[in-house]
Copies of this chain bind each other. A is one copy, B any other.
Amino acid sequence: MTRTPKADAKGRKLSNFLCFAVYSANLAFGRAYKPILDAVGLTYTQYIAMIALSEADDQTVSALGEKLFLESNTLTPILKKLEQSGYISRTRDPADERQVRVSLTAAGRRLLDKEINASLVEATGLGDEFPIVQKSVVRLRDNLLHHTRGDSKKG
């Protein structure tokens, strides 16, 4: 009758939580990429930041942050490291000295050209499902962000 205090796991088992599924899938991605990225001296986050940088030159830290869902507090140290490694350049915008413009260097672009990513697509084991899962996860993320922010941001 009254629920037993312990074993009322019901829909609450760890394996049933979508949040946990995403949490652990993210850990799994990091570990799958690690041996590949170690070889070129990048961390997982640094790699993702470089992909975002490959989309356009002279992006501001904020613009990059919008793509990555990160802010300057997280991005600044990452970008400084990528600069030290010689993969990106950081310069204050002469027209507005508050902003920092970030671009890939030739070395950075060469590194991305290695098609690091391709080797991991098959490791997902998703096959034809791949694009569907991807769309679902993106939608999931956007719904969560929308729910969290109360759509305070533009559009």
Q: Number of contact residues on A: which range applies?
A: 35 or more
Contact call B138/A126, Cβ cutoff below 8 A:
no
A28 within 8 A of B: yes
- Which of B14, B54, B125 is close to A12, meaning CB atoms less than 8 Å apart? B54
B141 touches A6 (CB 8 A): no
> A24 and B133 in contact (CB under 8 A), knowing A5-B109, A13-B55, A123-B147?
no
* A130 CA / B136 CA spacing, docked (Å): 9
Interface check A84, CB cutoff 8 A: no
Q: Select which of B9, B109, B120, B133 is within 8 A of A137 by beta carbon.
A: B133
Report the copy number of this chain in the oligomer: 2
Contacts of A148 in B (CB 8 A): 28, 31-32, 34-35, 123
Residues of chain B within 8 A of A123, CB atoms compared:
143-144, 147-148
Please tell me if the beta carbons of A130 and B9 are within 8 angstroms of each other in the complex: no
Q: Secondary structure of the A side of the interface?
A: helix
Among residues of B, the one whose C-beta sits closest to the C-beta of A23 is B26
Distance from A82 Cβ to chain B, minimum over Cβ atoms (Å): 16
- Identify the closest chain B residue to A130 (Cβ): B18
Q: Is the CB of B134 within 8 A of A147?
A: no
Q: A133-B137, A137-B133, A140-B133 are in contact. Are A18 and B124 (CB under 8 A)?
A: yes
Query: Which A8-41 residues have C-beta < 8 A from chain B?
Result: 9, 12-29, 31-35
In the docked arrangement, what's the CA distance between A20 and B107, Å? 23
Chain B residues with CB under 8 Å of A28's CB are 69, 140-142, 144-145, 148
A21 near B126 (CB under 8 angstroms)?
A: no
